Amino acid sequence: MTDVGARAVPLARVVRGGVVESVHLGHLVVLAPDGSTRLALGDPEVVVWPRSSLKPVQATGMLEAGLDVADEHLALVCASHNGEPAHLDVVRAILADAGLDESALQNTPDWPLDPDAAWSARPGGPRPLTQNCSGKHAGMLATCVAAGWSTDDYLAPGHPLQQHLRATTERLTGAPVEHVTVDGCGAPLFSSTLVGLARSFTRLDPRVVVATSGFPWFVAGTGRDATTFMQAVPGLVAKDGADGVYAAGLPDGSALAFKVLDGSSRPRPALLAAALRAAGADPGDLGRTPVLGHGVPVGAVEPTF
């Protein structure tokens, strides 16, 4: 069994009133433009589930298999979206352009991530359309239509689409897919090394880079860190994943990835900002995560590097 915690080190600490209250362990790697390791904390070769951080890689594979969509639509294919109305409109448009509707989606029904959108969705209940991965699934379905593959079983690991996406993952990460499981949305999930995940963000199809960095709101949504960081750093491609995973690439060929061992999202902004600075980028004031006491800042989440 792969043990992701075997060589984990402190990545961030939570300071309250001048006292370290808790510590987040994990692994982090920053790659220089030439592919060499600029910073490594923990074990860069640790095998992880990339979760939704893999979506830009999967989108690259879909383009290679024939997906042809507008940039805003491609950004949604890479998204873990909030389920805000404009997100859902784009999912419907991707499906409609492929001659399909939302009944073709086979991802897990869920509420929108955005609280206001979830409140508005109450009468209809949780649906595949409003689940945050519906853009990826719409892209998968549109790819199947373009390639002449069946759509009824597009989530099966042996389906031509999933076999192609597995091969794409291995090629872009430079690491073998040692494990396959089912992601939260129902799609096959392929393992990678952490450094392989970072490396893959230097090998994305240029159309994915243009779409995500050009339309960051469609990749996540209002108030989400992936969107705000891409808005602040020109040319940045950043993608969060569940259980504390993040990957990002910069226009100069630098890249980074990290895995928070406890799966928490709390240290993600601080870690992303610090890793971007280590890569030579300037995220400005982003990444500051205050610790509140009675609604007033009494500390902060601080990176250890």
Looking at the predicted structure, is the pLDDT value of residue 286 above 80?
A: yes
Q: Measured between alpha carbons, how far is 273 from 279 in angstroms, rounded to an integer?
A: 10
The crossing angle, in degrees rounded to 10, of helices 160-173 and 134-147 is 110
**pLDDT confidence of residue 108:** 98
Average of per-residue pLDDT across 182-187: 98
Looking at the predicted structure, is the pLDDT value of residue 149 above 90?
A: yes
Task: Please write the tens of the pLDDT for every residue from 235-284.
Answer: 999 999 999 999 999 999 999 999 999 999 999 999 999 999 999 999 99
- Per-residue pLDDT band at 1 (split at 50, 70, 90): low
**Residue 23: helix, strand or coil by DSSP?**
strand
Task: Please write the tens of the pLDDT for every residue from 22-79.
Answer: 999 999 999 999 999 999 999 999 999 999 999 999 999 999 999 999 999 999 999 9
**Residue 94: helix, strand or coil by DSSP?**
helix
pTM of the model: 0.97
237 forms beta bridges with: 249
